[in-house]
């Protein structure tokens, strides 16, 4: 972002078009996503799950250029808490994402930790808590990943706390920040997932300004969240129940978040995400347009380019 001076850059992601997987017939075709993202007024996108967009860098670059789009980040998934052998499982897909992201001029890798409950079925695949050894393995793995991404690709690791993962609530996030190297790992602060897990986005921004490296901007429907908590619903069920809310109708207050982020006085991406998998193909674009307009109205140094 060397050409961007201390602005909050609003972009979007395939997630806002109901895309969670590389291939799924329930998902918006990638050409339609790119067309509609550009038509909605966005200039920056995330690449989404590897394999959804073309993975040939020449073709992808041509597709983005034809629509006036640029890439802010790629996304990888990790499970370092499961032991040192996880490095070999994580690195090859991470390398592919890193190569493509760097080739597109992106500077960030959003890293999502493994969920202990399946994100589609809600089935528990492991314990929801970690012991000391597992926490240590998680910290070690992410420090190593951040170092390799930086040294080999010039990319910044942005860790994304996530619902139904082991790092979601306030204490978990603060534990992560205390035990990892700020040169190798910072936060992709997802305001929706933070709210869902009981974390306070504004407190995190104020308490750890130097660790806020990237944003996902979304909101939670408080009434649905109350039902989720009362019934101990899984993230999969909560998503289907409509726990995500179109801004500005939910929590947290994104105008306050944007004000706090602008006060950091540094360039940063704020990527719109509206978890809607699965969704009818004609639903996402109007929401994306309205959300863009709302977010741009919230700040004095908030822009799309």
How does residue 79 score in pLDDT terms, banded at 50, 70 and 90?
Answer: very high
Domain span at residue 150 reads: 8-303
104-151 pLDDT, tens digit per residue, is: 999 999 999 999 999 889 999 999 999 999 999 999 999 999 999 999
Residue 59 forms part of a structural domain: yes
Q: Is residue 205 a contact partner of residue 189, using CB atoms and an 8 Å limit? A: yes
> What's residue 27's pLDDT?
97
The pair of structure tokens assigned to 300 is: 């004095």
Residue 132 forms part of a structural domain: yes
3-state secondary structure of 54: coil
251-276 pLDDT, tens digit per residue, is: 999 999 999 999 999 999 999 998 88
Closest by alpha carbon to 21, among 45, 50, 46?
Answer: 50
- C-beta atoms surrounding 88 within 10 Å: 8
Average pLDDT of the chain is 96
Q: Is residue 47 a contact partner of residue 70, using CB atoms and an 8 Å limit? A: no
Q: Is residue 170 a contact partner of residue 207, using CB atoms and an 8 Å limit? A: no
Residue 1 forms part of a structural domain: no
> What's residue 277's pLDDT?
87
Sequence-distant (≥ 6) Cβ neighbours of residue 130 within 8 angstroms: 81, 138, 166
> What's residue 276's pLDDT?
86
What is d(CA 47, CA 193) in angstroms, rounded to the nearest whole number? 20
Query: Is the bond preceding 278 in cis, omega lying within 30 degrees of 0?
Result: yes
Closest by alpha carbon to 139, among 179, 182, 112, 178?
Answer: 179
Vertex 117 angle, CA 115 and 123, to 5°: 155
148-169 pLDDT, tens digit per residue, is: 999 999 999 999 999 999 999 9
> What's residue 46's pLDDT?
98
Q: In DSSP terms, which residues pair with 112 in a beta bridge?
A: 77
What is d(CA 37, CA 70) in angstroms, rounded to the nearest whole number? 11
pLDDT at 6 over 90: no
> What's residue 3's pLDDT?
53
Q: In DSSP terms, which residues pair with 214 in a beta bridge?
A: 188
Question: Sign of torsion, CA 248 250 255 257?
Answer: negative
Number of domains making up the chain: 1
Nearest 10 degrees: CA dihedral of 39, 44, 48, 54? 70
The pair of structure tokens assigned to 82 is: 């499961």
210-255 pLDDT, tens digit per residue, is: 999 999 999 999 999 999 999 999 998 999 999 999 999 999 999 9
Residue 2 forms part of a structural domain: no
The pair of structure tokens assigned to 230 is: 């009362």
36-65 pLDDT, tens digit per residue, is: 999 999 999 999 999 999 999 999 999 999
Length of the chain counted residue by residue? 305
Q: 29: domain CATH number? A: 3.20.20.150
Q: What is the pTM of this model?
A: 0.96
What is d(CA 187, CA 185) in angstroms, rounded to the nearest whole number? 7
């Amino acid at each position: 972002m060397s050409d961007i001076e201390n602005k909050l850059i609003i972009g979007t992601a395939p997630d806002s078009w109901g895309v969670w997987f590389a291939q799924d017939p329930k998902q918006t075709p990638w050409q339609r996503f790119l067309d509609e993202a550009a038509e909605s007024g966005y200039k920056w996108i995330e690449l989404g799950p590897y394999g959804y967009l073309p993975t040939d860098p020449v073709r992808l670059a041509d597709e983005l250029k034809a629509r006036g789009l640029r890439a802010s980040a790629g996304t990888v998934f990790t499970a370092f808490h499961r032991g040192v052998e996880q490095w070999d499982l994580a690195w090859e897909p991470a390398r592919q994402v890193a190569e493509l992201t760097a080739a597109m001029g992106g500077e960030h890798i959003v890293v999502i930790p493994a969920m202990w409950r399946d994100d589609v079925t809600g089935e528990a695949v492991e314990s929801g808590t970690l012991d000391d050894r597992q926490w240590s393995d998680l910290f070690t793995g992410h420090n190593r990943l951040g170092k390799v991404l930086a040294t080999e690709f010039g990319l910044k690791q942005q860790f994304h706390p996530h619902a139904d993962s082991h790092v979601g609530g306030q204490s978990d996030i603060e534990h992560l920040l205390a035990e990892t190297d700020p040169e190798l790992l910072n936060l992709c602060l997802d305001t929706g997932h933070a709210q869902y897990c009981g974390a306070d986005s504004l407190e995190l921004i104020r308490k750890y300004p130097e660790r806020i490296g990237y944003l996902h901007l979304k909101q939670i429907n408080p009434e649905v969240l109350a039902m989720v908590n009362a019934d101990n619903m899984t993230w999969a069920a909560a998503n289907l129940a409509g726990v995500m809310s179109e801004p500005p109708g939910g929590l947290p207050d994104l105008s306050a978040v944007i004000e706090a982020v602008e006060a950091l006085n540094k360039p940063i991406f704020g990527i719109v995400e509206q978890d809607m998998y699965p969704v009818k193909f004609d639903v996402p674009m109007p929401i994306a347009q309205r959300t863009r307009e709302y977010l741009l109205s919230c700040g004095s140094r908030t822009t799309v380019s």
